[in-house]
């Protein structure tokens, strides 16, 4: 069991998302960095989609009230177990009473969200096929809300002995994608793409976009050269998914994220491909990003590449977890 000691809001229980409920008007939610959540779960021998805790605000503290294995992935935030520094993207063992502290994200590959996984996943009820927190609807996760001081959470398999003490090469190194040192995201042109001026379309691909402070799990508001429509576009509200890039009248795009509402009426310039949403989920506020034009086949191939990385992780971790206990590196 763990007890939250920090009073910072916005840490939430998330799995890979509430898929298949958009038709009921229920958004997907789910981890902003699905790759980090899946990898953290695999490190502990969990199903890749078990629920973990997404932590976007630091410092963050919790106490283990019983012995428990755990995995930390996502942002490298100089974690400590009591006074002992912990490696990022690593599985660890906590003893009852130990306090886990996550500090500010650090390192050259500065990310913005840490993921904490526990054996068997965080034990919260499944609602509409998922354990993700649906903040807008106030259901799912832990009581349908962000975690706060005093909350006590249980690991579904708290008693399971876990082989710990090893880690992974973070996927930002294994699957890098940058232009001029900036995180780059692949985008499929959207339904209204050709409704924008050619110069705006060129500027979108060529320019740098800053992630503004008006960015959260619902969506990222970007700042850059305003995108001009050829003629004003008025659309009826229609279904949208995480990754959709909308352009409101200001011309400054908004990228819908995991907690996006399932419908909207702004023109759609494009969609960040599903395989790259984890990169965006980790891009800090104030950082700049670039876009790369892509097409359907490449987007599917990117998804397969991501799955292949996870399959490799699952295979290597299974070997490590089954190795004789005496075998050290």
- The residue ranges that bind another protein (CB under 8 A) are 76, 87-90, 107-109, 165-170, 173-174, 309, 312-313, 315-317, 319-320, 323-324, 327-329
Residues 6+ apart with CB under 8 A from 46: 117, 119, 120, 121
Cβ proximity to another protein: between 144 and 165 the closer is: 165
Compute the distance between CA of residue 283 and CA of residue 299 in angstroms, rounded to an integer. Answer: 20
The partner residues of 115 in beta bridges, in order of sequence, read: 54, 73
Strand, helix or coil for residue 314? helix
Residue 115 near residue 73, CB atoms below 8 Å? yes
Residues 6+ apart with CB under 8 A from 113: 32, 33, 36, 54, 55, 56, 74, 75, 281, 282
- Closest distance between another protein and the C-beta of residue 100, in Å? 18
Cβ proximity to another protein: between 102 and 254 the closer is: 102
Cβ proximity to another protein: between 184 and 314 the closer is: 314
- Closest distance between another protein and the C-beta of residue 166, in Å? 5
Cβ proximity to another protein: between 95 and 312 the closer is: 312
Cβ proximity to another protein: between 38 and 158 the closer is: 38
A 10 A CB-CB count for 319 gives 9
* Of residues 73, 86, 79, the one with CA closest to residue 31: 73
- Closest distance between another protein and the C-beta of residue 270, in Å? 31
Cβ proximity to another protein: between 164 and 256 the closer is: 164
Q: Tokens 């352009």 label which residue?
A: 247
Token digits of residue 9: 């809001």
- Closest distance between another protein and the C-beta of residue 173, in Å? 5
Cβ proximity to another protein: between 85 and 150 the closer is: 85
* Of residues 262, 261, 234, the one with CA closest to residue 247: 234
By CB atoms closer than 10 A (0-12, 13-18, 19+), residue 130 is: buried
- Closest distance between another protein and the C-beta of residue 169, in Å? 5
Cβ proximity to another protein: between 69 and 255 the closer is: 69
Q: Alpha carbon of 211 to those of 183, 220, 221, 273: distances in Å?
A: 12, 6, 6, 18
- Closest distance between another protein and the C-beta of residue 165, in Å? 6
- Closest distance between another protein and the C-beta of residue 208, in Å? 24
- Closest distance between another protein and the C-beta of residue 115, in Å? 15
Q: Tokens 């807008």 label which residue?
A: 136
């Amino acid at each position: 069991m763990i007890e939250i000691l920090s009073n910072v809001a916005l840490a939430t229980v998330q799995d890979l998302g509430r898929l298949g409920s958009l038709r009921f008007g229920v958004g997907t939610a789910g981890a902003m960095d699905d790759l980090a959540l899946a990898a953290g779960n695999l490190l502990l021998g969990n199903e890749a989609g078990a629920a973990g805790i997404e932590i976007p605000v630091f410092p963050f503290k919790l106490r283990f009230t019983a012995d428990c294995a755990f995995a930390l992935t996502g942002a490298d935030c100089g974690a400590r177990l009591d006074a002992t520094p912990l490696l990022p993207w690593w599985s660890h063992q906590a003893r009852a009473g130990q306090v886990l502290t996550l500090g500010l994200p650090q390192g050259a590959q500065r990310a913005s969200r840490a993921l904490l996984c526990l054996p068997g996943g965080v034990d919260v009820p499944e609602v509409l096929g998922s354990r993700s927190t649906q903040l807008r609807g106030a259901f799912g996760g832990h009581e349908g809300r962000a975690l706060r001081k005093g909350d006590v959470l249980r690991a579904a398999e708290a008693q399971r002995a876990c082989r710990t003490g090893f880690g992974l090469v973070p996927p930002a190194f294994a699957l890098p994608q940058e232009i001029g040192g900036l995180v780059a995201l692949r985008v499929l042109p959207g339904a209204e793409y050709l409704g924008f001026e050619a110069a705006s379309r060129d500027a979108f691909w060529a320019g740098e976009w800053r992630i503004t402070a008006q960015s959260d799990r619902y969506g990222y508001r970007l700042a850059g050269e305003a995108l001009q429509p050829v003629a004003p576009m008025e659309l009826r509200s229609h279904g949208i998914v995480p990754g959709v890039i909308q352009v409101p009248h200001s011309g400054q795009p908004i990228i819908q994220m995991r907690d996006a509402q399932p419908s909207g009426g702004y023109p759609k310039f494009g969609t960040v491909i599903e395989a790259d949403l984890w990169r965006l989920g980790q891009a800090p506020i104030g950082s700049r990003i670039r876009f790369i034009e892509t097409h359907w086949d490449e987007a599917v191939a990117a998804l397969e590449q991501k799955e292949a990385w996870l399959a490799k992780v699952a295979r290597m971790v299974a070997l490590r977890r089954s190795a004789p206990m005496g075998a050290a590196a």
